[in-house]
A and B are shown apart, each in its own frame.
Chain A
Amino acid sequence: MASTAATRTAAGAAKVVKPVFSRDLDEAKRRVRELYRAWYREVPNTVALFQLDITTRQGRDKVREMFDKNKHVTDPRVIDMLVIKGKMELQETIHIWKQKTHVMRYFQETEEPRATDFLSKFYKGHDP
């Protein structure tokens, strides 16, 4: 992968690489839109089936957030890989191979927010 990138930058022009699914950016964006549609339509069913304690709007906002996280990607192959991963998640959600905890993991904060006041810093250790 690194060598391919190096040869690409060294040549100065875009090197033709073997595509994953889509040949250009437009096709990749189309796949993204199709995936977004599928997820958008699936959210109310998910909330009902898993008996989640969130509203449909919150679910849809979370879907939008996950899609916006990768908004900056421009390589069609990377976009295709992300779409494939999204489709796998969608399949697992539709068929209820996941459980409630797996779905709620999207809503969990992954990083702890940094402590600001003295007492929280004291409890964490001496880190003023």
Chain B
Amino acid sequence: MRSLEPLTWILITCLRSSSRVSYNMAARVLQQCVRSLARPSLGLFPVNLALRAAVAPAVTVHRPFSFAADSRRMRWLGQSRISSVELLCRQYGDLPPLTLETIKDRVMYVLKLYDKINPEKIQATSHFMKDLGLDSLDQVEIIMAMEDEFGFEIPDAEAEKLMTPEEIIQYIADKKDVYE
């Protein structure tokens, strides 16, 4: 059995066995073999078929993350040859990545919805207390709306300093590691 190509050996192992332990082992061996694909190797055509077939039984829920990371890493290393590896990459539900533009749009949208602010007058640099005539409790409400929008807590010590939409955008970009 060992004389066969390693991938076909794994395929046979997977199809044969039904226990979780051998799935894990098979998945791990499959990872190593797929990793070795990144280096220039010979005879990829039979490997492609084997890989595609091995997707269904081998890639179980147990090791999704490392597997996806490996296949993504390999995509950088060799594009043209490893087209079939991209089939193994899992797509996870997540929000689109934040950019300064999207943060600014969302912040301004939330501010325009606030009933104590005139939507025409609000700009990125307008001060809440001096330009818009809001109270400190209004500013607390605005910061709470931002917390609800972006889904993370803003402690009061730092929240009391955010007095313009521009500062809010900078703070959120700071906390979420968004830079251009």
Contacts and interface: CB of A to CB of B under 8 A. Distances in A.
Interface of A: 29-30, 33-34, 36-37, 40-41, 64, 67-68
Interface of B: 136-137, 140-141, 144, 156-157, 159-160
Nearest to B138: A64
B136 A37 contact: no
A12 B160 CA distance: 32
A29 to B, nearest CB: 7
Interface majority SS on B: helix, strand, loop or mixed? helix
Given A40-B144, A41-B144, A67 B156 contact: no
Nearest to A64: B137
Contacts of B140: 33, 36-37, 40
A34 B144 CA distance: 11
B144 A29 contact: no
Contacts of B160: 30, 33
B137 A36 contact: yes
B114 to A, nearest CB: 12
Contacts of B137: 33, 36, 64, 67-68
Given A34-B156, A37-B156, A29 B136 contact: yes
A17 B137 CA distance: 28
B156 A33 contact: yes
B35 to A, nearest CB: 49
A41 B157 CA distance: 18
A74 to B, nearest CB: 14
7 contacts: A30-B160, A33-B137, A33-B140, A36-B137, A41-B144, A64-B137, A68-B137
A4 to B, nearest CB: 29
A40 B141 contact: yes
A96 B96 CA distance: 41
A27 to B, nearest CB: 10
What 8 pairs across the A-B complex have the smallest Cβ distances? Answer: A33-B140, A33-B156, A36-B137, A36-B140, A34-B156, A30-B156, A37-B140, A67-B137
Interface centre among B156, B157, B159, B160 (most CB of A within 10 A): B156
B113 to A, nearest CB: 13
B156 to A, nearest CB: 5
A98 B156 CA distance: 29
Nearest to A29: B136
Contacts of A29: 136
A35 B148 CA distance: 18
Contacts of B156: 30, 33-34, 37
Nearest to B157: A30
Given A64-B137, A67-B137, A37 B157 contact: no
A33 B159 CA distance: 10
A36 B141 CA distance: 9
Nearest to A26: B160
Contacts of A33: 136-137, 140, 156, 159-160
